[in-house]
């Protein structure tokens, strides 16, 4: 390195009083002998002085008032904004239960009796006889009838919501009552771990836009950057033909970005439990097993068409690469990136801030702390906070 360059490197520390002792003396001695360098550092002083002369600016006088208003508005709007699916879910669950039970009743009993009205009573009796939790009380019966009536009245509303969300009822509400679909079946087998690491999530994103951008090239590879589709590439359709209302994220799908619950089931906990001794439990052990797996699910189907911020979120997701989060009881915490575990990622903590995350990852975590939105294969999910109650 040339001597002048070395002196120039010390200009800023010298101007900012960050150079002390012998180092400072040495630079000052060098400068005294170099008229050109002296002029240069004098210019830099003037640059600073000119900019300082611009002065400070003041926040608007009503800054705190406006902040209070926004905080109050956000606080009141939060429940609706954070978990909009939660309101919809009970309706959809009720509608799904009705349809499932109806389908099973029709398939199993109607052919033998040919009279649905007559068939209903044996089914009810069978349910009652098989109730391992004990005989039904009058109260149970009344509650069950009430629930049945209210669920029936909700069906049209739920159907409207499903139609609005782009669901095809005929295809998404499977007659066998299965409301959970294996990821492998949906998105194909997960890529090998090594290949996945090498491609920085390309196993998921190479074809569907879940790639990385040049800003993420440290985490992803050039291949991934090259494979990234143009920004205008059409988003995958939300309502895939067999898209379920909620899809389970299976832990065995290694290398898939997933949300792992640390607290008891989140959104699944909000769903009404199946009635004791239900047809689903009795007749379909596979379905029961699938349901048990679904109870581990924390991802919910996310309808980006209903979210005005979706485009922005999508851009953030694309930049973010592969994520995994865990809910620590109060917030979602990022635990992995491109298959690599991260520790100490609590949002807002200095430890987290010191992690060598890509800049855009920080933005994503900052933006979506309570409302993580992410993409698996062709489908978008929203991971919501557990029900507060």
Partner 1 sequence: MVLLREARTQSDTELVAACQAGDEAAFFALIERHKDRLHTIVHRYLGSAEDAAEVCQDACLRAYRALPGFRGDAAFASWLTGIALNLARNRLRDKSRKGRNMGQSYEALQESAPSVLHRAEGAGDSPVASLMEQETAAVLEACLNELDEGLRAAFVLRVFDGMNYQAIAETLEIPVGTVKSRLNSARQFLRGRLRERSVL
CB 100, CB 280: distance < 8 Å: yes
Nearest CB to partner 1, comparing residues 65 and 237: 65
> Chain-centre distance of CA 221, in angstroms?
24
- 29 contacts partner 1 (rule: CB under 8 A): no
Minimum CB–partner distance for residue 131 and partner 1 (Å): 46
- Cβ contacts of 260 within 8 Å, gap of 6 or more: 251, 298, 324, 325, 326, 335
Minimum CB–partner distance for residue 196 and partner 1 (Å): 28
Structure tokens belonging to residue 42: 């004098």
- 50 contacts partner 1 (rule: CB under 8 A): yes
Nearest to residue 82, comparing CAs of 380, 342, 290, 369?
369
- Cβ contacts of 52 within 8 Å, gap of 6 or more: none
Nearest CB to partner 1, comparing residues 143 and 233: 233
Exposure string (b/e) for 360-388, b if CB count within 10 Å is 16 or more?
bbbebbeebbbbbbbbbbbbbbbbbbbee
Quick one: which segment of 153-161, 234-242, 288-296, 346-354 binds partner 1 (CB under 8 A)?
346-354
Minimum CB–partner distance for residue 39 and partner 1 (Å): 11
Minimum CB–partner distance for residue 206 and partner 1 (Å): 23
Nearest to residue 338, comparing CAs of 154, 122, 194?
194
Nearest CB to partner 1, comparing residues 358 and 386: 358
Number of residues counted as binding partner 1 (CB under 8 A): 47
CB 301, CB 378: distance < 8 Å: no
- 185 contacts partner 1 (rule: CB under 8 A): no
In this chain, which of 23, 64, 184, 194 binds partner 1, going by CB under 8 A? 64
User: Phi/psi class of residue 336: alpha, beta or left (left: φ > 0; alpha: ψ in -120 to 50)?
Assistant: beta
- 141 contacts partner 1 (rule: CB under 8 A): no
Structure tokens belonging to residue 208: 């569907």
- 11 contacts partner 1 (rule: CB under 8 A): yes
- 46 contacts partner 1 (rule: CB under 8 A): yes
- Other C-beta atoms closer than 10 Å to the C-beta of 389 total 5
Nearest CB to partner 1, comparing residues 14 and 227: 14
- 21 contacts partner 1 (rule: CB under 8 A): no
Structure tokens belonging to residue 346: 């609590």
Nearest CB to partner 1, comparing residues 161 and 315: 315
- Cβ contacts of 342 within 8 Å, gap of 6 or more: 334, 335, 336, 355, 357
Structure tokens belonging to residue 327: 């809910």
Rounded Cα gap, residues 119 and 141, in angstroms: 18
- 9 contacts partner 1 (rule: CB under 8 A): yes
Nearest CB to partner 1, comparing residues 89 and 332: 332
In this chain, which of 32, 38, 67, 80 binds partner 1, going by CB under 8 A? 67
- 305 contacts partner 1 (rule: CB under 8 A): no
- 4 contacts partner 1 (rule: CB under 8 A): no
Which x/- pattern, by CB under 8 A, does the window 347-366 give for partner 1? xxxxx-xx----x--xx--x
Nearest CB to partner 1, comparing residues 246 and 314: 314
Minimum CB–partner distance for residue 37 and partner 1 (Å): 13
- Map the footprint of partner 1 across residues 308-337, applying CB under 8 A: 312, 330-331
Nearest CB to partner 1, comparing residues 19 and 173: 19
Looking up tokens 């359709």 gives 237
In this chain, which of 22, 33, 35, 51 binds partner 1, going by CB under 8 A? 51
Strand, helix or coil for residue 336: strand
- Other C-beta atoms closer than 10 Å to the C-beta of 196 total 20
In this chain, which of 3, 12, 110, 251 binds partner 1, going by CB under 8 A? 12
Beta bridge partners of 375: 380
On the CB side of 186, how many CA atoms lie within 13 Å of its CA? Answer: 26
- 43 contacts partner 1 (rule: CB under 8 A): yes
In this chain, which of 36, 52, 117, 232 binds partner 1, going by CB under 8 A? 52
Rounded Cα gap, residues 8 and 155, in angstroms: 75
Return the ∠ at Cα 59 (arms to 56 and 63), rounded to 5°.
Answer: 170
Residues lying near partner 1 in the complex (CB under 8 A) are found at 8-9, 11-13, 15-16, 18, 40, 43-44, 46-48, 50-52, 54, 56-60, 63-64, 66-68, 70-71, 74, 312, 330-331, 346-351, 353-354, 359, 362-363, 366, 369
């Amino acid at each position: 390195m040339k001597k002048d360059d070395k002196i120039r490197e010390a200009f800023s520390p010298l101007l900012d009083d960050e150079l002390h002792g012998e180092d400072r003396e040495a630079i000052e001695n060098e400068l005294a002998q170099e008229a050109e360098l002296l002029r240069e550092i004098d210019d830099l002083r003037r640059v600073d002085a000119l900019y300082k002369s611009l002065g400070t600016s003041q926040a608007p006088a009503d800054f705190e008032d406006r902040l209070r208003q926004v905080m109050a508005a956000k606080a009141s709007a939060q429940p609706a904004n954070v978990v909009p699916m939660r309101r919809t879910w009970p309706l959809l669950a009720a509608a799904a239960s009705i349809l499932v039970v109806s389908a099973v009743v029709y398939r199993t009993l109607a052919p033998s009796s040919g009279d649905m009205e007559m068939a209903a009573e044996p089914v009810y009796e069978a349910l009652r006889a098989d109730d391992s939790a004990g005989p039904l009380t009058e109260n149970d019966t009344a509650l069950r009838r009430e629930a049945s009536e209210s669920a029936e009245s909700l069906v049209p509303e739920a159907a409207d919501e499903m139609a609005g969300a782009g669901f095809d009822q005929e295809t998404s509400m499977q007659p066998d009552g299965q409301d959970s679909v294996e990821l492998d079946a949906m998105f194909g087998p997960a890529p090998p771990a090594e290949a996945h690491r090498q491609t920085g999530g390309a196993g998921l994103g190479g074809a569907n836009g879940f790639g990385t951008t040049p800003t993420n090239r440290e985490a992803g590879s050039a291949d991934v950057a090259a494979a990234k589709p143009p920004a205008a590439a059409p988003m995958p359709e939300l309502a895939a033909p067999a898209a379920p209302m909620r899809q389970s994220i299976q832990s065995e799908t290694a290398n898939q970005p997933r949300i792992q619950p640390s607290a008891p089931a989140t959104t699944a906990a909000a769903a009404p439990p199946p009635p004791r001794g239900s047809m689903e439990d009795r007749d379909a052990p596979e379905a029961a097993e699938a349901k048990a797996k679904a109870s581990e699910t924390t991802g919910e189907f996310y309808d980006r068409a209903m979210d005005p911020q979706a485009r922005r979120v999508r851009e953030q997701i694309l930049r973010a690469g592969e994520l995994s989060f865990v809910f620590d009881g109060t917030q979602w915490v990022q635990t992995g990136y491109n298959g690599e575990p991260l520790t100490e990622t609590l949002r807002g903590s200095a430890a987290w801030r010191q992690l060598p995350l890509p800049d855009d990852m920080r933005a994503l975590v900052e933006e979506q702390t309570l409302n993580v939105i992410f993409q698996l294969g062709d489908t978008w999910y929203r991971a919501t906070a557990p029900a507060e109650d």
